[in-house]
């Protein structure tokens, strides 16, 4: 009997089916509803109403402000932590890293509920500081997504480059600013991408923190709750376009890394 062997192309079939069923087809449905009205006719009125409505533009701006604040706080906390874990030579560095990742293993609702109770004890009334509580809640939720890429990038830095900079007379501050920081930019870009975009749409934390304001995720949910698939799909498509633009803009991280290495050498 002739033996049957799988080729590399055939091994891609399960992934291709998954991609078609759970990525391409849902995206095609979103595109269809975004560019049609309730009668199924092609229209651009959905997009025009979004960009000419002050409320939706205000929601977009507020979402961006929250995302920028959360990303900045996560970066300020994660970079020193990842640097210490990766470059200090701690024997228990992986164990300490696990402590930062451990909250991800706990149910999301339990984590936010526990944080809400802690903030309630401290503040007394969560509704007095909705923006601050939202930033704290999202920072707590997304901090591991910022630490992991930074830790991986800093751990893989070429030690010879750092020693060469010190041999050439650079002090600790100069070594960090001119060698370590530029070479860690791919990790920074990856962490920002993994934090900024979800922070624009995660409205569950706002609801649990008693924040009555809307972000883009809240707006999408409100449209789908009333079965307005056209406007909900339109906003989803706009956010998808934002993701694509950010990915294209930050896609040069590896090229910048190579340039930085060449400049150091």
The pLDDT assigned to 70 comes to 94
* Domain extent listing, the chain: 54-264
In tens, the pLDDT along 113-153 reads 888 888 888 877 776 678 888 899 899 989 988 998 998 89
Instruction: Domain 54-264: state its class.
Output: mainly alpha
**How far, in Å, CA of 46 to CA of 43, rounded?**
7
Neighbouring C-beta atoms of residue 252, cutoff 10 Å: 14
User: Which segments of the chain have a pLDDT < 70?
Assistant: 1-7, 88-93, 127-128, 210-213, 250-265
Query: Does residue 36 contact residue 232 with C-beta atoms inside 8 Å?
Result: no
The pLDDT assigned to 118 comes to 86
- DSSP string across the chain: -PPP---HHHHTHHHHHHHIIIIIHHHHHHHHHHTB-TTS-B-SHHHHHHHH-HHHHHHHHHHHHHHHHHHHHHHHHHHHHHHHHHHS--TTHHHHHHHHHGGGGS-HHHHHHHHHHHHHHHHS-GGG-HHHHHHHHHHHHHHHHHHHHHHHHHHTS-HHHHHHHHHTT--HHHHIIIIIHHHTHHHHHHHHHHHHHHHTT-HHHHHHTT-----HHHHHHHHHHTT-HHHHHHHHHHHHHHHHHHHHHGGGHHHHHHHHHHHH-
Kindly state the tokens that stand for 111.
């984590």
The pLDDT assigned to 258 comes to 39
The pLDDT assigned to 43 comes to 93
203 Cβ neighbours under 8 A, 6+ residues apart: 214, 215, 217, 218, 221
The pLDDT assigned to 79 comes to 93
């Amino acid at each position: 009997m002739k033996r049957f062997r799988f080729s590399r192309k055939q091994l891609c079939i399960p992934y291709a089916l998954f991609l078609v069923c759970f990525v391409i087809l849902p995206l095609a449905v979103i595109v269809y509803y975004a560019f049609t009205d309730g009668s199924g006719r092609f229209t651009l009125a959905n997009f025009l109403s979004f960009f000419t409505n002050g409320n939706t533009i205000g929601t977009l701006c507020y979402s961006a402000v929250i995302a920028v604040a959360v990303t900045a706080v996560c970066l300020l906390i994660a970079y020193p932590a990842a640097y210490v874990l990766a470059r200090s030579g701690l024997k228990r560095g992986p164990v300490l890293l696990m402590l930062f990742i451990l909250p991800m293993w706990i149910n999301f609702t339990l984590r936010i509920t526990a944080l809400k109770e802690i903030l309630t004890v401290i503040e007394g009334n969560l509704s007095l500081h909705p923006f601050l509580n939202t930033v704290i809640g999202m920072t707590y939720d997304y901090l591991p997504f910022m630490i992991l890429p930074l830790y991986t990038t800093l751990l893989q830095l070429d030690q010879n480059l750092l020693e060469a900079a010190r041999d050439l007379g650079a002090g600790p501050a100069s070594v960090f600013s001119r060698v370590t920081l530029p070479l860690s930019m791919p990790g920074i870009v990856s962490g920002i991408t993994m934090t900024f975009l979800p922070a624009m749409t995660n409205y569950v934390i706002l609801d649990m923190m008693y924040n009555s304001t809307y972000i883009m995720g809240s707006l999408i949910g409100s449209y789908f709750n009333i079965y307005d698939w056209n406007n909900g799909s339109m906003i989803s498509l706009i956010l998808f376009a934002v993701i694509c633009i950010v990915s294209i803009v930050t896609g040069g991280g590896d090229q910048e890394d190579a340039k930085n290495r060449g400049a150091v050498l």
